[in-house]
Chain A
Amino acid sequence: MIEIKNLTKRFNNGIITALDNISCQIESNKITGFIGPDGAGKTTLLRILAGILTPNTGEIEISGQTLDIYEKGNSDFLSIHELQKMTSYMPQKFGLYEDLTVMENLELYAQLQRLEGNGKQQAFENVLQMTKLANFTNRLAGNLSGGMKQKLGLACALLKKPKILILDEPSVGVDPISRRDLIGMVNSMLDEDTTVLWSTAYLDEAENLDYVILLNEGKVIFQGNPKEAIDKVKGRVYVFSDVTRDKRKFASHLLKVDGVIDSVIAGKNIKILTNGRSIQEITSDLQDIKEPRSALPIFEDACIDILGGMAEKESPVLQYIDDVKFSAIDANVVEAIHLTKRFGDFIAVNDISFGVKPGRIFGLLGPNGSGKSTTFRMLCGLLRQNSGTAKIAGIDIADMGSDAKMNIGYMAQKFSLYSMLSVRQNLDFFSGAYRLSGKERQNAVKSMIEIFHFGDIQNINAGVLSLGFKQRLALACAIMHKPPVLFLDEPTSGVDPITRKEFWMHINAMVSRGMSVVVTTHFMDEAENCDEIALVYRGKMRAMGSPDELKEICNNEENPTLEKAFIKIVEVADQNEQFTKTFKE
């Protein structure tokens, strides 16, 4: 058991507080999840526990013995060296040597953990069997897929059965199947003697864990069994199914009803979370609707409840964006026609075609490295395709002048604003770059400050903002010129659940004004907001349709979700490829 008492860690001479007086308990024989958005303090905490970072204040006790975390050399304390002997730590970037083979990596880590003789052979057999990597022992680690790399990283950490296993975001960028395997591997090694720490930014992962510590901005906002948290919101989640009227307007209308603290679009359904007010009272003022049915809450609902629900009931973007009119209502606003992109021998995008209708959200879904971002970059003209055409409003991107480019808004995956300029200066700059001038420009900057609540921070340099505010600023800069077409590349990756919801509220508001949005994401629940989804895997389009159509793929399961559909599609694709390979051989 690990007990953490009043741990505080500051960086940059105290400007940034990564951990703010944190206290929590981590029990053995359980997987303890550290859950929170990027910058919440997960990695800092895990590094301190791995003995490779020194906190400013606070104490750590391991099985009742105080850890000599400040390396004072007190003999009553547990030394860092002793701690590291019983700990296995897998950092976020796996810690694998990409230019060594699978076996060479295992050999090296076995030696680093002082593992020798029979025990070593036994351990190798164990982990190779568990990871199904036995057939790949001679392959360079750099040539493994993301999921396999993650498994190998875990295998290296599990060679010597550790008393404390620390895994920093083991599931990031891993497809859902590998994610399931990873949790299985860790579960299989649990016993009275083992403590497992698992950090993640995905809220849905919490439900597979025994105990979670929810972190936000360096503070613990919840700790306990995730099921307890979910129990608290039981009976407060309702689903309106088969919404026939404009689902976006209806969802935003529901949020304004007293007692509703969250309202989410899920395909053709709308899910709400109440503050405890009875559903009869909530629906009493609504006309001609089907009776909503009660639904099981998920951990995210519990988090939203803990965080106090949605602060804003309606997106102020609605007031800023004017209705967008397209001349031809049926024409595709964005079109990909047989797009193909090669990097050397590697085909990143292989003959992908689709069209986006005006006033719709089109989602590109796929695991990291699947080709979705490459497709996305070709669509907005940031990358030149090898063959095929990308069109926006009927114009080939290649022939597009800078006037036509004014019709596009683009938000990059990585923070791409000027970090040494203040929030206001960034807004000023981008309003100028998008050729706004005079009153219009002043109004744009002023509106963005109001909409995204930049008031108090407008003179702070963008580089030191929290990730949530950075993303908000990036979105503001992308929409201030009111583009009819908006490209968003993983806009919500790494932000807290409330900010994520806020983002989708804004996106839905813009779309209800007639704007068209192309978005990439790897959050399955976010994909539910899309009107149409294209699933990209290993460079090829594997499936396309509305969220409900995609869920049909796994309709033999009792509770079809996008995630299950996704797993199915990927499995089928892998099988087919395996088959073709075998066939060719």
Chain B
Amino acid sequence: MNIKTVKALIFKELKQIRRDASSILVAFIMPLTLLVIFGYGLSFDIKHIRIDIVQQDSGKLSKDLVDLYSHSEYFTTNVVTSTQEAKGNMESGKTMGTIIIPENFSEKAQRGQKAEIQIISDGTDPNTATYIEAYAQGLFNKYLLSLKPELKNKTINIINRLWFNPTTESIHFLMAGALTMILAIVGTFLTSLVVAKEWERGTMEAMIATPISVNEIIVSKIVPYFGLCIVSLAFSLLYGKFAFNMPFEGSILSMGLVSSAFILVSLIVGLIVSTLAKNQFVAGMMAVMVTFLPTMMLSGFVFEIKSMPIWLQAFSYVFPAKYFVSSIRTICLVGDIWEVILQDTIVLSIMALVLYKFLKKKLRKNVE
């Protein structure tokens, strides 16, 4: 391997990255967009559900209850006086549920009698309906507790139901997946496009007709994009930390180790894709098929792998994203658990090695 040649090619690549707006777009703007989408859009906590409260009782206790609901972040409330109005709002889709506080509610409660409220939710969206039911009931139990602390022991089981949706922000959990996705895309998608572009424009043809070796070609493509991926990762981590208060319990060392292995795999997959496709459009489609979709579906990032059929679970072991998601979650949320991190890094490194062998076999200095 001629170091000077490789250096010249790496500098060439860096110049191209700097001048080509689209690589900057893929490396920085896209991670930003993904983080924002995952950060705000794909939260599993449903908040600010619009409901009506029909307040038929005018006592102090019922006012307290209305306050409790309207100050909850789960609901955006609107107090109406008639059941008819609330029904109309639900029918027209303005609200997803209604809470009715019946007459004599305060009176009954004060007397220590059984005071009840009615929770109605829109069954056309069963998911949201379940949330409304659970949140509303939970808040009501909390309210009852504050009225009569001695009831605590009796209501404890209901409190458990309230917490079925952990207050642990799901966003931190998703962020790990988002980081994986970003690296997979920057690594595989970007490299496959740039190499396919070289085939399309004929520059690759000119290059392979020179005495350059296959290793020199591969190294000169991997080094600059490896750097770009690291920068993109650091940028994403910092953004996650400051914008979403994402925890980072582990060390930079562990993060660097497992990320390097994963980035290598992604870059090599990108080079393989573009060697097979040699056309930007097909290469782009292939890159999405082999990285984006499996990362989304089979890495355990959104969908729990344990709840999949056995054969699909087995299949998920093929995808590098699965190992990276596991490590990055551990590093961010738990800390340096070396057992997990080393195991994932080793698996990823073996993958990189096998894929590199395959790439060397496929990327011949030949136009066919």
CB of B366 within 8 A of CB of A95, answer no
CB of B19 within 8 A of CB of A107, answer no
B2 contacts partner chain A, Cβ-Cβ < 8 Å: yes
CB of A93 within 8 A of CB of B201, answer yes
The answer for the CA separation of A93 and B203 in the assembled complex, in Å, is 8
A113 contacts partner chain B, Cβ-Cβ < 8 Å: yes
Q: Among B19, B205, B210, which residue has its beta carbon within 8 angstroms of that of A112?
A: B210
B3-11, B160-168, B176-184, B325-333: which lies at the A interface? B3-11
The answer for the CA separation of A419 and B19 in the assembled complex, in Å, is 38
The answer for the CA separation of A50 and B208 in the assembled complex, in Å, is 9
A522 contacts partner chain B, Cβ-Cβ < 8 Å: no
- Given A95-B203, A97-B16, A111-B5, A50 contacting B368 (CB threshold 8 A): no
Number of interface residues of A (CB under 8 A): 34
The answer for the CA separation of A95 and B16 in the assembled complex, in Å, is 15
User: Which residue on A lies nearest to B204, using beta carbons?
Assistant: A95
With a cutoff of 8 Å between Cβ atoms, the chain A residues found around residue B16 in the complex are 97, 99-100
With a cutoff of 8 Å between Cβ atoms, the chain B residues found around residue A109 in the complex are 210
The answer for the CA separation of A114 and B365 in the assembled complex, in Å, is 18
B357 contacts partner chain A, Cβ-Cβ < 8 Å: no
- Given A54-B366, A80-B365, A93-B202, A108 contacting B210 (CB threshold 8 A): no
Task: Find residues 271-318 in chain B having any chain A CB closer than 8 Å to their own CB.
Answer: none
- Given A53-B366, A108-B8, A84 contacting B15 (CB threshold 8 A): no
Give 20 A-B pairs besides A93-B205, A100-B15 with Cβ atoms closer than 8 angstroms: A47-B367, A51-B209, A52-B209, A52-B366, A54-B366, A80-B365, A84-B209, A84-B211, A89-B209, A95-B203, A95-B205, A97-B203, A108-B8, A111-B4, A111-B5, A111-B8, A111-B9, A112-B207, A112-B212, A116-B4
B12 contacts partner chain A, Cβ-Cβ < 8 Å: yes
The answer for the CA separation of A100 and B11 in the assembled complex, in Å, is 11
CB of A52 within 8 A of CB of B203, answer no
Task: Find residues 73-89 in chain A having any chain B CB closer than 8 Å to their own CB.
Answer: 80-81, 84-85, 87, 89
CB of B8 within 8 A of CB of A84, answer no
CB of B9 within 8 A of CB of A108, answer yes
20 A-B pairs in the complex with CB atoms less than 8 angstroms apart: A50-B209, A54-B366, A54-B368, A81-B211, A84-B211, A89-B209, A91-B205, A94-B206, A95-B201, A95-B205, A96-B201, A97-B16, A99-B20, A100-B15, A104-B12, A108-B8, A112-B8, A113-B210, A113-B211, A166-B209
Most A CB within 10 A of own CB, among B5, B20, B203: B203
A90 contacts partner chain B, Cβ-Cβ < 8 Å: yes
With a cutoff of 8 Å between Cβ atoms, the chain B residues found around residue A92 in the complex are 202
Q: Among B12, B205, B208, B365, which residue has its beta carbon within 8 angstroms of that of A100?
A: B12
The answer for the CA separation of A95 and B206 in the assembled complex, in Å, is 5
- Given A47-B367, A54-B366, A112 contacting B202 (CB threshold 8 A): no
A98 contacts partner chain B, Cβ-Cβ < 8 Å: yes
CB of A104 within 8 A of CB of B15, answer yes
Q: How far is the CB of A155 from chain B (nearest CB, A)?
A: 13
With a cutoff of 8 Å between Cβ atoms, the chain B residues found around residue A166 in the complex are 209
Q: How far is the CB of B246 from chain A (nearest CB, A)?
A: 36
The answer for the CA separation of A90 and B205 in the assembled complex, in Å, is 9
Task: Find residues 105-142 in chain A having any chain B CB closer than 8 Å to their own CB.
Answer: 107-109, 111-114, 116
The answer for the CA separation of A343 and B17 in the assembled complex, in Å, is 26
The answer for the CA separation of A107 and B4 in the assembled complex, in Å, is 12
With a cutoff of 8 Å between Cβ atoms, the chain A residues found around residue B4 in the complex are 111, 116
CB of B210 within 8 A of CB of A84, answer yes
With a cutoff of 8 Å between Cβ atoms, the chain B residues found around residue A104 in the complex are 12, 15
With a cutoff of 8 Å between Cβ atoms, the chain A residues found around residue B9 in the complex are 108, 111-112
User: Which residue on A lies nearest to B216, using beta carbons?
Assistant: A112
- Given A89-B206, A91-B206, A97-B203, A114 contacting B5 (CB threshold 8 A): yes
Number of interface residues of B (CB under 8 A): 25
Q: Among B2, B5, B19, B367, which residue has its beta carbon within 8 angstroms of that of A52?
A: B367
The answer for the CA separation of A87 and B208 in the assembled complex, in Å, is 12
Q: Among A50, A53, A95, which residue has its beta carbon within 8 angstroms of that of B202?
A: A95
With a cutoff of 8 Å between Cβ atoms, the chain A residues found around residue B212 in the complex are 112
Q: How far is the CB of B179 from chain A (nearest CB, A)?
A: 30
The answer for the CA separation of A4 and B117 in the assembled complex, in Å, is 95
The answer for the CA separation of A92 and B202 in the assembled complex, in Å, is 8
Q: Among B12, B207, B211, which residue has its beta carbon within 8 angstroms of that of A95?
A: B207
The 8 closest A-B pairs by CB, nearest first: A95-B206, A93-B202, A111-B8, A89-B209, A112-B210, A91-B205, A50-B209, A91-B202
With a cutoff of 8 Å between Cβ atoms, the chain B residues found around residue A84 in the complex are 209-211
Most A CB within 10 A of own CB, among B207, B211, B365, B366: B211
Contact with A along B60-82 (1 / 0, CB 8 A): 00000000000000000000000
- Given A50-B209, A52-B366, A93-B201, A114 contacting B15 (CB threshold 8 A): no
Q: How far is the CB of A42 from chain B (nearest CB, A)?
A: 14
Most B CB within 10 A of own CB, among A53, A98, A111: A111
Q: How far is the CB of A364 from chain B (nearest CB, A)?
A: 28
With a cutoff of 8 Å between Cβ atoms, the chain B residues found around residue A53 in the complex are 366-368
Q: How far is the CB of B190 from chain A (nearest CB, A)?
A: 15
Task: Find residues 33-67 in chain A having any chain B CB closer than 8 Å to their own CB.
Answer: 47, 50-54
Q: How far is the CB of A115 from chain B (nearest CB, A)?
A: 11
The answer for the CA separation of A97 and B200 in the assembled complex, in Å, is 12
Q: How far is the CB of B163 from chain A (nearest CB, A)?
A: 56
With a cutoff of 8 Å between Cβ atoms, the chain B residues found around residue A108 in the complex are 8-9, 12
Task: Find residues 245-277 in chain B having any chain A CB closer than 8 Å to their own CB.
Answer: none
Q: Among A51, A87, A99, which residue has its beta carbon within 8 angstroms of that of B19?
A: A99
User: Which residue on A lies nearest to B8, using beta carbons?
Assistant: A111
Most A CB within 10 A of own CB, among B2, B15, B20: B15
With a cutoff of 8 Å between Cβ atoms, the chain B residues found around residue A99 in the complex are 15-16, 19-20
The answer for the CA separation of A92 and B206 in the assembled complex, in Å, is 9
Q: How far is the CB of A205 from chain B (nearest CB, A)?
A: 21
Contact with B along A467-499 (1 / 0, CB 8 A): 000000000000000000000000000000000
User: Which residue on A lies nearest to B6, using beta carbons?
Assistant: A111
Q: Among A93, A97, A114, which residue has its beta carbon within 8 angstroms of that of B12?
A: A97
Contact with A along B350-368 (1 / 0, CB 8 A): 0000000000000001111
The answer for the CA separation of A104 and B367 in the assembled complex, in Å, is 25
User: Which residue on A lies nearest to B213, using beta carbons?
Assistant: A81
Task: Find residues 189-235 in chain B having any chain A CB closer than 8 Å to their own CB.
Answer: 201-203, 205-212
With a cutoff of 8 Å between Cβ atoms, the chain B residues found around residue A89 in the complex are 206, 209
The answer for the CA separation of A104 and B2 in the assembled complex, in Å, is 19
CB of B209 within 8 A of CB of A114, answer no
With a cutoff of 8 Å between Cβ atoms, the chain A residues found around residue B203 in the complex are 95-97
With a cutoff of 8 Å between Cβ atoms, the chain B residues found around residue A107 in the complex are 8
Q: Among A52, A87, A95, A98, which residue has its beta carbon within 8 angstroms of that of B365?
A: A52
Most A CB within 10 A of own CB, among B4, B201, B206, B366: B206
Q: How far is the CB of A18 from chain B (nearest CB, A)?
A: 11
User: Which residue on B lies nearest to A153, using beta carbons?
Assistant: B206
User: Which residue on B lies nearest to A166, using beta carbons?
Assistant: B209
With a cutoff of 8 Å between Cβ atoms, the chain B residues found around residue A50 in the complex are 209
With a cutoff of 8 Å between Cβ atoms, the chain A residues found around residue B8 in the complex are 107-108, 111-112
With a cutoff of 8 Å between Cβ atoms, the chain A residues found around residue B19 in the complex are 99
Q: How far is the CB of A7 from chain B (nearest CB, A)?
A: 15
The answer for the CA separation of A578 and B9 in the assembled complex, in Å, is 37
Contact with A along B119-149 (1 / 0, CB 8 A): 0000000000000000000000000000000
User: Which residue on B lies nearest to A140, using beta carbons?
Assistant: B19
The answer for the CA separation of A100 and B205 in the assembled complex, in Å, is 17
Q: How far is the CB of A13 from chain B (nearest CB, A)?
A: 12
The answer for the CA separation of A166 and B206 in the assembled complex, in Å, is 11
The answer for the CA separation of A85 and B5 in the assembled complex, in Å, is 14
Most A CB within 10 A of own CB, among B208, B209, B366: B209
With a cutoff of 8 Å between Cβ atoms, the chain B residues found around residue A111 in the complex are 4-5, 8-9
User: Which residue on B lies nearest to A44, using beta carbons?
Assistant: B367
The answer for the CA separation of A413 and B253 in the assembled complex, in Å, is 58
User: Which residue on B lies nearest to A104, using beta carbons?
Assistant: B15
CB of B209 within 8 A of CB of A87, answer yes
The answer for the CA separation of A406 and B203 in the assembled complex, in Å, is 44
Most B CB within 10 A of own CB, among A93, A95, A98: A95
